[in-house]
Amino acid sequence: MSSPKREFLFKVLVVGDLGVGKTSIIQRYVHNIYSNCYRATIGVDFALKILNWEKDTVVRLQLWDIAGQERFGHMTRLYYREAAGAFVVCDLGRAVTLQSVQRWKDDLDSKVMLKNGKPIPAILIGNKSDLLPHGARVQNVENMGLELEFKDCLMTSAKDNVNIHEAMSCLIKEMIANK
């Protein structure tokens, strides 16, 4: 006899400046593919990932890939509705994208919250770690993660498939804990 399955459906937002690698992270996670060419996302794209989480739990992730250019738009309130968690992504090769992290975090916290009024769990991602010299310090990104009360902060490479699954698992744990 099979044991009853728990099922979760989570809406997850992926935000951050233009070209930081949001689409690449999602493509790597969902399809395990990567491309060097850059095609800016227009508005929002969606991807679905279904995974077996522990023995009898199924998690459905609805990933909302929000265009970097939307920071200057008025659509984010609509996109953020009922999200359970978020990634804010910056580009380790471009310091200016780290400066935008606070703007993105504030945008999230002012427009979406959990039913209990708390902020949705958010993870800070420093992407393109493959561009840094091996063992390079990323203290400024980690400090930003602590200062802005992100649940965690991870350095990833969509290109080399580093820490992508770890980042997703980290957020899934936070979202399940809120259930």
Contact 138, 126 (CB under 8 A): yes
Q: Judged by CB under 6 A, does residue 12 bind ligand GTP?
A: no
Note whether 11 binds ligand GTP by CB under 6 A: no
In the stretch 15-54, what mask flags binding to Mg ion with x, by CB under 5 A? -------xx-----------------x-------------
| 158 counts as binding ligand GTP under rule CB under 6 A | yes
> Which span sits near ligand GTP by CB under 6 A: 102-110, 114-122, 123-131, 165-173?
123-131
Can you tell me which of 11, 21, 76, 100 binds ligand GTP, judged by CB under 6 A?
Answer: 21
Please name the helix (run of DSSP H) or strand (run of DSSP E) that holds residue 44, with its range, or none. Answer: strand 44-53
CB of 127 closer than 8 Å to CB of 158: yes
Does 97 bind ligand GTP (CB under 6 A)? Our answer is no
SS3 for 47? Answer: strand
Q: Is 49 in the site for ligand GTP (CB under 6 A)?
A: no
> Contact between 20 and ligand GTP (CB under 6 A)?
yes
Q: What distances in angstroms separate CA 79 from CA 87, 129, 139, one per listed residue?
A: 14, 28, 31
- Cα distance between residue 18 and residue 54, in whole Å: 35
Q: Residue 148 burial by CB count (10 A; 0-12/13-18/19+): exposed, middle or buried?
A: middle
Nearer to Mg ion, 68 or 145 (CB): 68
Answer for which of 76, 97, 100, 157 binds ligand GTP (CB under 6 A) is: 157
Q: Cα–Cα distances in Å, from 135 out to 123, 131, 159?
A: 22, 11, 17
For residue 94, state whether it binds ligand GTP (rule: CB under 6 A). no
CA dihedral (58, 16, 96, 139) in degrees, to 10, reads -20
Copy the structure tokens of residue 37.
């060419």
Does residue number 19 form part of the binding site for ligand GTP (CB under 6 A)? yes
Contacting residues toward ligand GTP, per CB under 6 A: 16, 18-24, 35-38, 40-41, 67-68, 127-128, 130-131, 157-159
Contacting residues toward Mg ion, per CB under 5 A: 22-23, 41
